[in-house]
Structure 1
Amino acid sequence: MRTEFEESLHRAVDGRAGREDLLALAGARGDEVRALLGAALSVRLSGGRSVTFSRNVFVPLTNLCMNRCAYCGFRRDPGDPGAGYWEPGRAARVAAAGEAAGATEVLVSSGDRPEAVHGEAALWLRRHGYRSTVEYAADVEDRILRSTDRVLIHTNVGVLTRDEISLLRPLNASMGLMLESSSPRLSGPGMPHCCSPTKDPRVRLRMIEDAGSLGVPFTTGVLIGIGETWEERVDSLLAIADLHARYGHVQEVIIQPFSPEPGTPMWKSPPPDPVDVAKVVAVARLIFGPSMPLQAPPNIAGPSRPLLLSAGADDWGGISRLTPDYVNARHPWPSEEELSREADALGMRLRPRLPVYPRYLLGGWLPEGLRERALSMSDEEGYARA
């Protein structure tokens, strides 16, 4: 290994790495990659051997969206097959079915503010008595909570204002928004976010900060393989770390690899190399230390799951027995049994959790009404009750 790499790795393991050290680690090659992953795994194991996941059902309220990300296979335009909103009662029925099947999380998602660009979306909302998709989401979530006893809601419906976060907060155990990248370059002409105004990193960082100042347990992360550089990857992780240092609200960080979707402008672009994804996980682990959950979507990771666990990942996010991953529909969920076998093979233990992590549940971050429900669903350590 190069001497400068070894020195940077030692500083990172000790929690003293600066940006230049992290960039040196990102440039790992050959035996350095094994050393990087081994160091990250050592840091991760110092915080325990659990690999967590959440039993969920997925409720995508609408696939209409104001953005046109070059890689997105989820969004539709009005008139496209399958385009539109879920009817108001459908989400509550799916949530009830999930509760009966043992799910503890309802993931509520949607395209970002479709009513801002699609007259059809605005008309549908008005006909049903709503002024916005966010207002519709709040009503749906209230219905879900009133018709169930043992599920909690996690919402990711795009960029929200401070007032909208406050509207949804009493209904949500946690909320989320992927940063994806802190690089404005990716919003330039010909880049994947050029037609996606709410993918401006300043807009997304502002929402993540607002959530922190309002005390909302929050999920965010980075998207790997859409044309970003290693410097941009490191800077994106550091931007998240900076906000978490100020507010303490980031409950998990997702490292998500790009997956080509048919019919999109980036359909023929290659996915990122699994070793590169593992290196991002390892660098993230060294940035955030042993206590921050690092999530890798298990259906997208596929055969790379053991590699990502060995690089420092310790969470698989939500998986469902009832609903597909509507955003990555070509990638079916692995079974709990598969994930458990893979964890066991590495001397780890698969463990179900709630959509709010234990330190936020037990630390009093939830609104009182939701806190009582969550505590009734959790064990003494704050994980999902068997």
Structure 2
Amino acid sequence: MLKRSEALQLEGITGPDLFSLCQNAGRIRDEHFGRVLTYSRKVFIPLTNMCRDTCGYCTFVKTPKSGEGNIMLPSEVLETVLKGQKQGCKEALFSLGEKPEARYRYAKDKLAMLGHDAMLDYVREQAQAVLEKTSLLPHINAGAMSLAEMRALKPVAASMGMMIESTSKHLMKKGQAHFACPDKEPEIRLNTLKYAGQLDIPFTTGILIGIGETWQDRIDSLLAINQIHQEYGHIQEVIVQNFRAKAGTEMAKHPEPDLDDMRRTLALARLILDPSISLQAPPNLEERYGSYVSAGINDWGGISPVTQDFINPERAWPQIDSLAEACRGLGYDLKERLTVYPQYLDEKRGYLDPALASRMPFLAAQNGLAAEQWKNF
């Protein structure tokens, strides 16, 4: 694994040096994951687009004042999930703004109409409904949470996730990406990762690059993630996501990371992180599949045949058959996985609530990937 002092020296490398770095990352990936790249066939549930944070790059979040602030009704959630089930989806990803009821009376009143005081209680109810009424597995991405909040959600979540984004405190200052965003305080994000570890929750996290952080910040963020994984062993995947500028945001004119920057960071992540941690890059934010694979990724994350990427709605998902063909051209097979990775399926390890664990023999193949591979390629 790469030391911090060695990683610092990689800033800005390009040409043959970058090629060599990527080769090393690819070798580690192949040694641990073989010639298989994975993805999760999922349906996205944007349970609420209201949030108490105001990140400078976000278009997902809407305010009540805009007239677009919304909380999905139970009937809307079920309708969406059933559409996904018909299309062979295995995962229901609950993505939502963080604690909107703490900022907006409108959100608090809407929750009260639904019979709840807190958004996370509503999340739990809807995840339970997915388990009772469909064959899909909930993955809950509800942001920063306390130990008690995560404990309450564990019985209804096969996995959970939250992007660290960055451990840089500089980004919390006025004029920076995370100004006036109480849930983006680095210590709060890292504590959420630790709580997930204490509760044995299979967890997804990651970094967002190009939002004003330094190369050193990226290194320290990845090292912090890896240190927590070394203590608890629960981080199943790390996403390296590239910032894309969006019209109408404070960062609309902010420069985006180029392909070499993304390759450097992906290779850096693969060389810093424990080899058992899956490395993911979103396929719809930069359709340079060969460059990402050569830099050490082994997973493409969630791809939906039903719902858009609500965080990046301007970026369409790739067709899964086209992605599979691209992977084959690079010498890899594309395989569908479940929201929980194979190493966390052992019932004796306690990562899954017993009711969830009892479903896995019907959903997982012997290798831990999805037993039923969607036959559209």
State the TM-score, normalizing by the size of structure 1.
Answer: 0.94
Instruction: Please say which of residues 18-27 and 336-345 is displaced more in the overlay.
Output: 18-27
Distance 1:55 1:26 in 2: 35
Distance 2:286 2:353 in 1: 34
Match in the other structure for 2:375: none
Query: How far 1:289 sits from its partner (Å)?
Result: 4.5
Which of the residues 77, 82, 101 maps onto 1:96?
A: 82
Aligned residues: 369
Which of the residues 348, 354, 371 maps onto 2:357?
A: 371
Distance 1:67 1:224 in 2: 19
Distance 1:344 1:79 in 2: 48
Match in the other structure for 1:162: 147
Instruction: Please say which of residues 179-188 and 28-37 is displaced more in the overlay.
Output: 28-37
Match in the other structure for 2:227: 242
Taking the TM superposition and a 5 Å limit, the aligned residue runs for 1:126-145 are 126-145=112-131
Match in the other structure for 2:22: 37
Match in the other structure for 2:331: 347
Letter in 1 for 2:22: L
Is the counterpart of residue 313 in structure 1 residue 302 in structure 2? Answer: no
**Secondary structure at the residue paired with 1:330?**
coil
Distance 1:81 1:313 in 2: 40
Taking the TM superposition and a 5 Å limit, the aligned residue runs for 1:217-256 are 217-256=202-241
Instruction: Please say which of residues 75-84 and 195-204 is displaced more in the overlay.
Output: 75-84
Is the counterpart of residue 70 in structure 1 residue 56 in structure 2? Answer: yes
Query: How far 1:30 sits from its partner (Å)?
Result: 2.5
Distance 2:194 2:278 in 1: 19
Query: How far 1:27 sits from its partner (Å)?
Result: 3.9
**Secondary structure at the residue paired with 1:143?**
helix
Match in the other structure for 1:108: 94
**Secondary structure at the residue paired with 1:299?**
coil
Please identify runs of 4+ aligned residues in structure 1 that moved more than 3 A: none
Match in the other structure for 1:274: 259
Q: Deviations over 1:31-54 (max 9, x none)?
A: 111111111111111121111000
Query: How far 1:324 sits from its partner (Å)?
Result: 0.4
Matched-pair contact (CA < 8 Å) for 1:362–1:382: no
Which runs of 5 or more residues in structure 1 are unaligned? 1-14
Is the counterpart of residue 209 in structure 1 residue 194 in structure 2? Answer: yes
State the TM-score, normalizing by the size of structure 2.
Answer: 0.96
Letter in 2 for 1:130: H
Distance 2:67 2:251 in 1: 21
Matched-pair contact (CA < 8 Å) for 1:26–1:283: no
Is the counterpart of residue 297 in structure 1 residue 282 in structure 2? Answer: yes
Letter in 2 for 1:373: R
**Secondary structure at the residue paired with 2:170?**
helix
Query: How far 1:81 sits from its partner (Å)?
Result: 4.2
Letter in 1 for 2:248: G
Q: Deviations over 1:196-254 (max 9, x none)?
A: 11001111001110010111000000001001110000000000000000000000000
Distance 1:81 1:255 in 2: 33
Query: How far 1:338 sits from its partner (Å)?
Result: 1.4
Matched-pair contact (CA < 8 Å) for 1:91–1:140: yes
Is the counterpart of residue 83 in structure 1 residue 42 in structure 2? Answer: no
Distance 1:289 1:122 in 2: 41
Distance 1:247 1:26 in 2: 30
Which of the residues 255, 265, 272 maps onto 1:287?
A: 272
Distance 2:143 2:277 in 1: 23
